[in-house]
Amino acid sequence: MSTRKPSYTNPRPCKHLSAYKLKHGLSGYKSLQKCLKTTPNGRTSVENPGTKISRCSSCNGYQGRLYFCLICSSISCSGHTLLHTQSEIGHDLAVDIERAELYCCACSDQVYDPDFDKTVMSKHMLDLSYSTNRNSADSIGERLCERKRLGSGVELADLNKSGQLALMRDHRAKSCYPLGLRGLNNLGNTCFMNSVLQALLHAPPMRNYFLSDRHNRRTCRKRSANRLCLPCELDGIFSAVYSGGGDRTPYSPAQFLYSWWQHSENLASYEQQDAHEFFISVLDGIHERESKARNQTRDSGDCQCITHRVFSGQLRSDVTCMTCGFTSTTYDPCLDISLDLDTNHCSNKPVKRNDNSSTSTLLGCLDLFTKPEKLGTDQKLFCQNCQEPRDSSKQLSIRKLPLVLCLHIKRFEHSLVRKMMRKIDSYMHFPFSLDMTPYLSSSIVRNRFGNRIFAFEGDDSDNSTEFEIFAVITHSGTLDSGHYLTYLRIKEQWYKCDNAWISEVDERVVRASQCYMMFYVHKTLYYKAKEDLSCLPVSTRKEAFHRVAGCC
């Protein structure tokens, strides 16, 4: 329903470009294609046939930007392009020789034409297919293919099922906290569990799923007698936490803890654990249980269990040979993204930076994550095209975004001094609204070729790339001993969840906190509902269910 922002925009042509296209169509581009020279790292230039050195026809200069007229093939430097259009009427369109970019001499500005970029891109693919001698060049530049559309929304509740929820304003409560906010007791160093549970309890698709009774404890127990079921226990917590009128005192998720211990025996103790490890383990437990129940052994790419429907995304990894440009691409599913901090630990940065850029930011970490990484010369990979080990570069990007994006910050590093791992406490700035467009595979791959206007697989997805944060898990302390907290954002108000204690906090506190895991949800699923859910009048249960489970 949100206005779809295309991943690449098609700027309107100037009148000179339109006139040129009307008169000459694509013939100029096609004949230029023969002169185009491509490099393995995505650069395109115009090769002047014959003489190697291009010179301006007016001043004989060879320095700076040179432009190649599409009509008469004469070359002008940037100082003389205007002269060229004045002396030869209609010779407005030229191409920047060094960069293969369209330039309108009359407007004295760069112009953009998808047909031109298509010509450039097809030259790249042509050159690559010649060098690889393959018929189906599937490396740089993808074919437009049908994008698989997995069900992204959770269907509306089965309204016939009865549930325990009744929405009633609790007049006894001191402050009208919204529904679903309830403290969780610490059962012995279990803040790692409580913090993750709070985030899961407020992930809109998870909440909708469990509150619509999609995993019914009674039917589940009937089906498989006496088996410990993590989703059942989670369902129990959802019911306890979201029961309106009912108990608002802190809840003890003991049953859940016990079930989880059964699932992750190696982590079963009263010692402190890592929240991220717990998170992955819980998701795995739910997936195992759900896929067994449905008798499916599909891999996580197609799995329809609630875990994968909510958190599963897909990463794309491109390994490019630095000699010939051949790229091998692999896709891997992921439930979350672990990011390295983008602190400037290396001191060999000669360019002076102002204070603003020395703080870590989430966008900086994401930039680092999707930055091409040159694999060391001792890590030469075998290039299929060159048929020998070559220096390569690797680049990650996101092919498919999940409904709920969990970003985990790797706040630990190897200390060279003490020869052990230590925690990184530096502050990292993170936004409340996040647009993931620049980190999508389509953007990253397009960027390799100078940001050409060119459709890539997955471009025409309807899914929005805009996310809103709803939970932040923070950690304070050291690697061995510390404390986890969760900040939840419910209808523009932030709440601090410190085990059993819930309190309202100002957003500045959240912004200043040391984030460890951040949970973002698709903007379309993030309600900015004006009504307070907990203040709805008591009505039939059917209607109440509809309110809670409905999307948009």
Partner 1 sequence: MRKSVNRQSTPDVEENQEDKEPSFQELINIELIESGEKERLMELLRERLIECGWKDEMKALCRSFIKKKGRNNVTVDDLVHVITPKGRASIPDSVKAELLQRIRTFLMSAAL
Residues that bind partner 1 (CB under 8 A): 52-53, 57-62, 65, 78-80, 83, 86-87, 103, 107-110, 349-353
Shortest Cβ 97–partner 1 spacing (Å): 13
- 92 burial level (CB within 10 Å; 0-12, 13-18, 19+): buried
Q: Which of 191, 232, 365, 497 is catalytic?
A: 191
Shortest Cβ 368–partner 1 spacing (Å): 12
3-state secondary structure of 233: helix
Shortest Cβ 59–partner 1 spacing (Å): 5
Cβ nearer to partner 1, comparing 163 with 372: 372
3-state secondary structure of 432: coil
Cβ nearer to partner 1, comparing 62 with 501: 62
The residue among 338, 299, 333, 332 whose CA lies nearest residue 317 is: 332
Residue owning tokens 């060119």: 454
- The answer to whether 179 touches 167, Cβ cutoff 8 Å, is yes
- The answer to whether 241 touches 251, Cβ cutoff 8 Å, is yes
Cβ nearer to partner 1, comparing 63 with 133: 63
- 46 burial level (CB within 10 Å; 0-12, 13-18, 19+): buried
The residue among 126, 111, 120, 103 whose CA lies nearest residue 36 is: 120
Handedness of CA 104, 109, 115, 119 (dihedral sign): positive
The residue among 286, 334, 299, 297 whose CA lies nearest residue 314 is: 334
Shortest Cβ 87–partner 1 spacing (Å): 5
Shortest Cβ 86–partner 1 spacing (Å): 8
3-state secondary structure of 499: coil
Shortest Cβ 463–partner 1 spacing (Å): 27
Cβ nearer to partner 1, comparing 10 with 219: 10
> Where do the H-state alpha helices sit in 294-390?
306-311, 362-369
Shortest Cβ 480–partner 1 spacing (Å): 35
Q: What angle do CA 294, 298, 299 make, to 5 degrees?
A: 135
Query: What pairs with residue 464 in β-bridges?
Result: none
DSSP letter assigned to residue 440 = B
Shortest Cβ 15–partner 1 spacing (Å): 15
Q: Which of 24, 429, 483, 546 is catalytic?
A: 483
Distance in angstroms (rounded) separating the CA atoms of residues 398 and 441? 5
Distance in angstroms (rounded) separating the CA atoms of residues 426 and 322? 35
Shortest Cβ 528–partner 1 spacing (Å): 28
- Is 483 tagged catalytic? yes
Cβ nearer to partner 1, comparing 35 with 220: 35
Residue owning tokens 């440009």: 325
Cβ nearer to partner 1, comparing 84 with 522: 84
Q: How many angstroms separate the Cα of 421 from the Cα of each of 59, 105, 404?
A: 63, 59, 30
Residues 6+ apart with CB under 8 A from 203: 310, 404, 470, 471, 519, 521
DSSP letter assigned to residue 72 = T
Query: What pairs with residue 400 in β-bridges?
Result: 314
What's the per-residue H, E or C state across 133-187? CCCCCCCCCCCCCCCCCCCCCCCCCCCCCCCCCCCCCCCCCCCCCCCCCCCECCC
Distance in angstroms (rounded) separating the CA atoms of residues 6 and 465? 10
- Is 16 tagged catalytic? no
Cβ nearer to partner 1, comparing 83 with 536: 83
Cβ nearer to partner 1, comparing 60 with 266: 60
Cβ nearer to partner 1, comparing 109 with 265: 109
Cβ nearer to partner 1, comparing 65 with 523: 65
3-state secondary structure of 489: strand
DSSP letter assigned to residue 96 = E
Shortest Cβ 490–partner 1 spacing (Å): 34
Q: Could you give the residue numbers annotated as active site? A: 191, 483
